A and B are shown apart, each in its own frame.
Chain A
Amino acid sequence: MIEVAHLTRRFGQHVAVDDVSFHLDQGEVVGFLGPNGAGKTTTMRMLTGFLPATSAQKLEVAGFDVLRKSLDVRRRIGYLPEAVPLYDEMRVREMLLFQGRLHGMSRGDLRSAVPDVLDRVGVRDRERQLVGTLSRGLRQRVGLAVALLPKPEVLILDEPTSGLDPIQRREVRALIAELASEHTVLLSTHILAEIESIAPRVIVLSEGRVVADGTQDQLVQNLAGTGHVRFEAVAGNPAEAVKLLSSLPGVTRADECGRVGIHHAFEIHGEGDLREDVGALAATQGWAVRELSWHRPTLEELFARLVLGGEEAEARAPESPPVAANTEASSDVPLLDLAPSADASKASPAPQENKVIYSLNPFDRGQSRALNEPIDPNANDAGGSQTGGEQ
């Protein structure tokens, strides 16, 4: 639906959008994430044809070249700029009729479409109100109604929730989530909670470049290498405990980080979720465990890391060779290519040998099992001595 390849836009000396490439499939909801001035709005404006690109190898929306077939593109997009431009002196209904006429909708179409779309955004009762007298949240909804009226194939929403209070924000979010089924949606925001709840896929922009592109799971997963297990227990000799913890398969490093009363705290870094292994070890050693938790980077941390650039990333995650190996040494912003298939394995080159460990999990009934395989509840019943399953 949207194809962008090597898109660049300069304002004089300033490069606002720098060699950006991405594409959206039909029906996808993608969130543009980035701090202010990252180039989100500029990119969107170029997609709508409001701004021409300085250079672009490919810039297509709904199968039409934005520059050459500008009108065809404009007929197929619903664009809601951040400022929500509406004519203040018009009534809500008039504004919608104007938009409908611009799109060449017939009178009959409009008669049914206008109430429909007003219902949809929940401002049907404001039909006769002057746009200039609407509150910010209502204005936003009317703006959305205007964008939705011609039933566009692609919706481009620039910060649709900026300036709203939390409740209005939630409502607009729910509305957008609802739209996702019918339209391809590209929305921008600098509020992470929004992206997390609406858009499955995220494109992170920073200083005009795409620094990450992928589903949220992929984003987090690829950085989960920098996650760690936090472990607090009464371990007699912390140095011994660190040695034991380090010897666990999959653990790259274990640190003792202080002592709280009789408890020692440890941070265990390694591949994936190591809680089970650590727990099993604690059980065999007879350590009294107080805390065993897995700390994964949230999208928020990830965002800060991506956007704040190299020094921050290095300072925070020096212990993550897989990710560091994947960053471009030359650029000061780490470019994380989070394309699903091939790179995922590249990002985690550590061989995944079957980790077999003695487990004290009561449901395992003392059996050994490969940790990489999912737990099959029936397997135990079939081979087990317990009779509970049969009865």
Chain B
Amino acid sequence: MRGAVTIFRREFAGLFLSPLAWILLLVSLFVNGFFFVQYLGIYRGDVTGALRASLGGSWPFWFFLVLLPPLLAMRLVSEEARNGTLEFLLTGPVGDASVVVGKFLAALAFLAILWLSVLVYALRVQTVGTPPDWGPALGGYLGAVLASGLFVAIGLLVSSLTNTPLLAAFLAFMACLGWLILPIVGANAFQSIAALLADYAGGVEVAHAWVLGALNKMDVLHHFQSSFLLGVFDTSEVVFFLTWTALFLFLTVRSLEARRWRA
């Protein structure tokens, strides 16, 4: 684990040595402020409602949630592979898992800081005199960090598959977007297919239920909005995110190992 901590420190410091991190922070602060003001207008001054919209209740939030992690994750492995520094890391006295975990935590920590930009406005509103309901706000923040973790893990996996950072970012963005909307699209698609098939074959209902159940197990939106956004800290939802994240991190470790065979 010492290796993971060392790598985390380097990656985290390295992020702030590149302009990308500062630009992302600045833009997110600006964008979140803009949207927060918009939501305040829409919700007629309901601070909690506006916060909830900023942290998971609106599409702009989800757009940034699938956009930012791939941008951060793209360089984590593929750029190192391209510069040859991956050879340095993988021949150093650290295991592959430490490398992956260290990089993952660095990107996640950065995103955790980035999502604080929403809470900045909540804090500002509180000082003005209208205290928001902190439960949903903090719940939404925690959810945003957990969901970011899942998408960073997906981004890392994609990044470990290609040596071109930009391609990694694009593919990871598509993958994250797909992951996000698959439950909705998939359920609708299956519904129409099931309706067509219902006349000809039996057991469609069973299959339908099974598919819906499976899709539900991947449904980030649903898991997010039914707990964190209500200010409920539900461990099963936390486990939902952690499990998927762990799976993708595991796959990344295997992919790094596979890289040795391909190289």
Contact = CB atoms under 8 A, between A and B. Distances in A.
Contacts of B88: 81, 85-86, 146
Given A50-B87, A52-B260, A75 B93 contact: yes
Contacts of A81: 84, 87-88, 91
A252 B217 CA distance: 86
Report which residue of A75, A90, A98 has the largest number of chain B beta carbons within 10 angstroms of its beta carbon: A98
Contacts of A90: 10, 14, 17
A104 B93 contact: yes
Interface in B1-20: 2-3, 6-7, 9-10, 14, 17-18
A105 to B, nearest CB: 11
B127 interface: no
A48 B90 CA distance: 9
A49 B91 contact: yes
A29 B85 CA distance: 26
A85 B17 contact: no
Interface in A347-382: none
Contact of B14 (A45, A48, A52, A87): A87
Consensus secondary structure, chain A interface: loop
A305 to B, nearest CB: 33
B63 to A, nearest CB: 29
B95 interface: yes
B260 A50 contact: yes
Given A89-B17, A90-B17, A51 B263 contact: yes
A79 interface: yes
Interface in B225-263: 260-261, 263
Contacts of B86: 85
B105 to A, nearest CB: 16
Given A79-B91, A90-B17, A51 B2 contact: no
A101 B6 contact: yes
Contacts of A329: none
A295 interface: no
A83 interface: yes
Interface in A109-154: 146
A87 B260 contact: no
B91 to A, nearest CB: 4
Nearest to A156: B91
Contacts of B18: 89
A214 B253 CA distance: 41
A52 B91 CA distance: 12
A101 B92 CA distance: 11
Contacts of A315: none
Contacts of B91: 48-50, 74, 77, 79, 81
Contacts of B2: 101, 104
A87 B75 CA distance: 13
Contacts of A86: 85, 88
Interface string A71-101: 1001101010101111111100000001101
A342 interface: no
Contacts of B93: 71, 74-75, 102-104
A71 B95 CA distance: 7
B85 A85 contact: yes
A102 B3 contact: yes
Contact of A51 (B6, B14, B92, B260): B260
A52 B260 CA distance: 7
Nearest to A150: B93
Contact of A98 (B10, B83, B90): B10
B211 interface: no
B94 A102 contact: yes
Contacts of B83: 83, 85, 88
A85 B87 contact: yes
Interface in B111-161: none
Interface in B75-104: 83-88, 90-95
Interface string B16-29: 01100000000000
Contacts of A104: 2, 93
Nearest to B90: A50
A80 to B, nearest CB: 9
Interface string A23-62: 0000000000000000000000100111110000000000
A193 to B, nearest CB: 26
A83 B84 contact: yes
B9 to A, nearest CB: 8
A146 B87 CA distance: 14
A7 to B, nearest CB: 16
A242 B92 CA distance: 65
B86 to A, nearest CB: 8
A102 B260 contact: no
A157 to B, nearest CB: 13
Contacts of A83: 83-84, 87
A36 B81 CA distance: 22
A160 to B, nearest CB: 15
Interface in A240-272: none
A111 B83 CA distance: 28
A75 B3 CA distance: 12
Contacts of A51: 260, 263
Contacts of A89: 14, 17-18
10 contacts: A49-B91, A50-B90, A51-B263, A83-B83, A86-B88, A89-B18, A101-B2, A101-B9, A103-B92, A146-B88
Interface of A: 45, 48-52, 71, 74-75, 77, 79, 81, 83-90, 98-99, 101-104, 146
Return the 10 tightest CB-CB contacts between A and B, nearest first.
A85-B84, A83-B84, A85-B85, A85-B88, A101-B6, A75-B93, A48-B91, A89-B17, A74-B93, A102-B92
Given A50-B91, A85-B84, A101-B9, 19 more contacts: A45-B87, A45-B263, A50-B260, A52-B261, A71-B95, A74-B91, A74-B92, A79-B91, A81-B84, A83-B83, A83-B87, A85-B83, A86-B85, A89-B18, A90-B10, A98-B6, A102-B7, A102-B94, A103-B93
